[in-house]
Structure 1
């Protein structure tokens, strides 16, 4: 309606959307039988992530919206009749993507001759809006997509970016990542026959494009956020080998952050911290930390190093790296309070559980003692002060020779 309309118009009540209380431009009927304006109900269901019908409060099991053509024509006719009062006729909306169309495209993707074309169309659909993502998930798209990926990466197909099989698998992986699956969808991937976690590890190992490797690690990160303990404790050494390689290759900032989040989630479980240490995660993390300017990345690295250094293998790997103790000490008070506390915990683990004379002497030479004294002198958390004080007390015989320690502190 025109913004300058000054007279009252008797609008039929059934023209009004129950959510926005405005006249409907594109009326659609939900599976609960209530009609809404498309924009309003899509925002309610997909942007605000509500799962119930606003009017009936019933759980919406089928998210497909059925166009109410009869009501739309009535509204358009009413607008035309009242055009003299400044009311504009709403144009006929572009047909929305239907579940039937998505199911057909998924079926076509099973054909070698139609696969690339159908996957390209599905990618366009999934990138369009949140509603399409949920529509594709409800149509079971992830089942066919994971099958296409597994058929390539779980077999010894020669990796070539121009190969139709590889191109199809990479497109399927792109779509699967951008679906942003719900918890139920992510849990389905764990239950997929053939172990889809290992399939994604194969993608990280064998994929030609950095983009596919990045999508694989970011999808794994999302999967492990909803994983059951048994799924986290059964990870293999080869899985950690590929994860660490992603860190070494530094594919992208997003891929690095996803890898760090994944490792933070899985390392506390079972023997995972040992498996990670044995595959060189400590060296990879220290190398990144040496030149890192992103505070969030630095914080995650220090948190992860704290997890790994809780095992002897992790502490041994840290001592092997020439810059390990120095960079951890340097990051105290330079990243965040969380990072500072975790960095002191790492030094504590090194001192109390791997603190031979060489380690203790090296910590003094690298300026670690000065940093611990600084911890005692400034305003910071009680736990971090207690650990610093205990380290200084235990190693007082060696560290009292440090020129930075005053007579009073001794």
Structure 2
């Protein structure tokens, strides 16, 4: 078999491979479709790799049919030399096709068929995801399907509407919406979060996961005033997901949402009222994923910023013990949060029973280890030192304390 020299103009300037689907940019340079689409989606600078000229976002990739036929003919002539002929590529999906499917999705008779077609298109490539997201009103239409389906109540339509909601949720989640699209979604669909709450109440495990992943994305972009009005029904459903442990993705997303809304006082009380603390403590008692453990401790640290949260931790038979157990055993981030929980308990809810329990379950000893540990940061050590100083007289007789730590205590 003799070595074949490939004509240079058959090669993509990006991949340096024979082009299967040559397309020409507005700058006049031809690339392989897959390579140039990956290039244009990879960064903020949408420019032609060869000329460095900026490529407008609305610019279309023009198929170079002449070059493709030349490449295919050349490949056919060289099959004896191990060159494979590339099949003619399918025409790519365009905005007109997306818009047509979205129009069909708004009509009940064609809704399910259109949504399934859209789901297949979105799953095909990153390019298609960006195309759907950028199609005017696409996100709003999908969100309205979820909102309208979940706001209806007729029993005979229940199965159909839930299925439509599932498909629309799957598509919205798969799009991995940009911050701008998420903000527009909430602004134009004021009842969308309530619709996701209903989805969490009655949908499949997969849809509950998708709903939570969307909520996780929304938490980072929605206004503070909006989250201050969050309903306890949503928090109850998030806690139910944690209790059910439907999937690791769902668990992490639920914890991210609770952590995202818990910096504000009233929300902390709502989280406690939703029954989160016993569930979170029970999760720590299991051999949880490291990241899950860290997120659980973040939420507990924040809810202990209110009296209700501290009372709930103290009321759990294993609350203080399991939090202390995670110190130094998981990660520096987990240790910092666990010490933060104990610091709140000792500073604001230090009843005689709580302080006695801390001695019995080894909290005092753990705090002493924190002061010696190289993996704990300055902030964590400062909190541990303050706890020991606050309750010096109560813990002075503890066998956990070596003479070097008695120097911290007033006489």
When normalised by structure 2's length, the TM-score is 0.89
Of 196-205 and 26-35, more deviation after overlay is shown by 26-35
Of 352-361 and 192-201, more deviation after overlay is shown by 192-201
2:321 maps to 1:321: no
Q: Cα–Cα, structure 1 residues 211 and 374, in superposed 2: closer, same or farther, change >3 Å?
A: same
Q: Cα–Cα, structure 1 residues 396 and 88, in superposed 2: closer, same or farther, change >3 Å?
A: closer
2:120 maps to 1:121: no
What does residue 144 of structure 1 align with?
141
Aligned residue for 2:246, secondary structure, equals: coil
Alignment deviations for residues 21-76 of structure 1 (CA, whole Å, 9 cap, x no partner):
55533112345654321121122123567533433532431265332323323444
Q: Please tell me whether the aligned partners of residues 105 and 111 of structure 2 are also in contact (alpha carbons under 8 angstroms).
A: yes
Match of 1:205 among 201, 206, 214: 201
Alignment deviations for residues 96-147 of structure 1 (CA, whole Å, 9 cap, x no partner):
2222222222222222222112211211111122111111112243222111
Match of 2:153 among 153, 156, 159: 156
What does residue 354 of structure 1 align with?
349
Q: Select the structure that is richer in helix.
A: 2
What does residue 4 of structure 1 align with?
3
Q: Please tell me whether the aligned partners of residues 144 and 189 of structure 2 are also in contact (alpha carbons under 8 angstroms).
A: no
Q: Distance in 1 between matches of 2:346 and 2:84?
A: 77
Q: Cα–Cα, structure 1 residues 31 and 101, in superposed 2: closer, same or farther, change >3 Å?
A: farther
Aligned residue for 1:114, secondary structure, equals: helix
Gaps of 5+ in 1: none
Q: Please tell me whether the aligned partners of residues 236 and 274 of structure 2 are also in contact (alpha carbons under 8 angstroms).
A: yes
2:100 maps to 1:104: yes
Q: Distance in 2 between matches of 1:317 and 1:400?
A: 27
Residues 224-373 of structure 1 mapped to structure 2, 5 A cutoff: 224-269=219-264, 271-373=266-368
Of 187-196 and 64-73, more deviation after overlay is shown by 64-73
Shift of 1:90: 3.8
Shift of 1:320: 1.5
Residues 71-86 of structure 1 mapped to structure 2, 5 A cutoff: 71-77=67-73
Q: Distance in 1 between matches of 2:25 and 2:228?
A: 43
Q: Please tell me whether the aligned partners of residues 47 and 130 of structure 1 are also in contact (alpha carbons under 8 angstroms).
A: no
What does residue 65 of structure 1 align with?
61
Q: Please tell me whether the aligned partners of residues 265 and 306 of structure 2 are also in contact (alpha carbons under 8 angstroms).
A: no
Give the aligned CA root-mean-square deviation in angstroms.
2.7
Aligned residue for 1:28, secondary structure, equals: strand
Name the count of aligned residue pairs: 403
Q: Please tell me whether the aligned partners of residues 212 and 253 of structure 2 are also in contact (alpha carbons under 8 angstroms).
A: yes
Shift of 1:80: 5.8
Alignment deviations for residues 374-400 of structure 1 (CA, whole Å, 9 cap, x no partner):
223333323222222221222121112
2:37 maps to 1:39: no
Aligned residue for 2:226, secondary structure, equals: helix
When normalised by structure 1's length, the TM-score is 0.89
Aligned residue for 2:108, secondary structure, equals: coil
Match of 1:375 among 370, 378, 385: 370
Q: Distance in 2 between matches of 1:29 and 1:295?
A: 48
Gaps of 5+ in 2: 407-411
Aligned residue for 2:269, secondary structure, equals: helix
